[in-house]
Amino acid sequence: MSEYDHYTPRAFSPPDPEAADERRAIKSAVKSEGVQVANDHLRSFIERIERLEEDKKTIADDIKDVYGEAKATGFDTRILRKVIAIRKQDASARAEQEAVLDSYLAALGMIESDGGEA
């Protein structure tokens, strides 16, 4: 005897007309004043986010332009990005990262362990 032997299929029943009427009543209730206020509130959030996304794109374009100017002046933009990333860190995190980097470089023989270059 398999695990499905006890299963007996149910007969298909057509949709209940009273249930359809109830669904229509619920849909019309969605148009009520309270729901309209919620819809307006939702629309407000969406529009604010869209405006901020536009502002973010504008700022990103401005930053790209500044990097372009710096490159045209002769600066290495990869290094500029690293400098900006380093400046975002607090001093203790930066010192820890530099110490770990120095230990890795010393382990690979790329610098002397006392801090001088190999």
Query: 76-105: buried (b, 16+ CB within 10 Å) or exposed (e) per residue?
Result: eeeeeeeeeeeeeeeeeeeeeeeeeeeeee
pLDDT tens figures, 24-53: 777 666 666 667 778 889 999 999 999 999
More confident: 101 or 116: 101
Amino acid occupying residue 44:
S
Amino acid occupying residue 50:
E
pLDDT tens figures, 80-95: 999 999 999 999 999 9
Asked whether 75 and 83 are in contact (CB, 8 A), the reply is: no
Say whether pLDDT at 67 is over 90: yes
Q: Which residue has the tokens 């690293």?
A: 82
Confidence band (pLDDT; 50, 70, 90) for 118? Answer: very low
